[in-house]
A = this chain, B = another copy of it.
Amino acid sequence: MVSLNINPVVCRNNIAPPSQFLSHQFGAMAGHIGLVASEYCYKKDEEIFGEDEPAEYVYQVITGAVRSYKLLSDGRRQIGAFYLPGEVFALESSSAHRLAAETIVDTTVRLVKPSSLERLASLNVEIAHSLWAMTAFELEHAENHMLLLGRKSAMKRIANFLLEMDARLASAGVMTLPMCRRDIGDYLGLTLETVSRALSQLEAQGVLGFSGARQNRATESPVSAKD
């Protein structure tokens, strides 16, 4: 767990924030008659479900953070997404999960049965469209991420990551990243050493500062992470 200060000026960016609209709709859905929503607490680094497991639940993060990922036979890992408070994951239109999911820190989730959602969707066109839109939103994220993984330099990837996270969990120019360097590397297609070096370089350039681990401070070079 590392806290990180980023100057607000640095953080104005062109990365779309997550659709809180959809998350709110999900919360609203959970209030519908007959939709069973329970809560569950996981410890840090606990598996929520494995790759290709049957999809028993759809999840919404209440507190904490989650990573979804795929593994290669040699143990290399690609993290597909991080899920932060309010965000929904494991929403499948089919019956199995395509990625595994683990908690990054102690995490509380809200659980809903897919069958409940499907029933609601069959009764209410708006809900059906919302489910579709949530999947489309994940697809959009994946498409942006393919561009990052296929065509951007290590430093661009890091900058992109910081701006993405800033848009999702920053307040007052400070954000606390729940994930470790290895997680960031596995999300960005880099090694943890490369991530560390890039962050050190940004700190040396005065673009950001750390608090919590390593002392630091925010600075204010206007940075553009266009592309």
Interface residues of chain A, those whose CB is within 8 Å of chain B, are 70, 72-74, 76-78, 80, 92-94, 98-99, 118, 121-122, 125, 128-129, 131-133, 135-136, 138-140, 142-147, 149-152, 186, 188-189, 226-227
Q: Does the CB pair B143–A80 fall under 8 Å?
A: yes
Q: How far is the CA of A139 from the CA of B146 in the complex (A)?
A: 11
Q: Does the CB pair B98–A140 fall under 8 Å?
A: yes
Q: How far is the CA of A112 from the CA of B118 in the complex (A)?
A: 26
- For A76, list chain B residues within 8 Å (CB): 151
Q: Does the CB pair A99–B143 fall under 8 Å?
A: yes
Q: How far is the CA of A125 from the CA of B226 in the complex (A)?
A: 41
Q: How far is the CA of A185 from the CA of B54 in the complex (A)?
A: 35
Q: Does the CB pair A98–B143 fall under 8 Å?
A: yes
Q: Does the CB pair B72–A129 fall under 8 Å?
A: no
Q: List 19 A-B contacts (CB under 8 A).
A: A70-B143, A70-B147, A72-B147, A72-B152, A73-B227, A77-B151, A78-B146, A78-B147, A78-B150, A78-B151, A99-B143, A121-B125, A122-B125, A131-B132, A135-B136, A139-B139, A142-B143, A142-B146, A150-B189
Q: Does the CB pair B93–A133 fall under 8 Å?
A: yes
- Chain B, Cβ-Cβ closest to A140: B98
Q: How far is the CA of A72 from the CA of B146 in the complex (A)?
A: 12
Q: How far is the CA of A18 from the CA of B188 in the complex (A)?
A: 27
- Chain B, Cβ-Cβ closest to A76: B151
Q: How far is the CA of A73 from the CA of B147 in the complex (A)?
A: 12
Q: Does the CB pair A74–B227 fall under 8 Å?
A: yes
Q: Smallest Cβ distance from A86 to chain B, in angstroms?
A: 20
Given A98-B140, A128-B125, A226-B73, is A150 in contact with B147 using a C-beta cutoff of 8 Å?
Answer: no
- Chain B, Cβ-Cβ closest to A156: B72
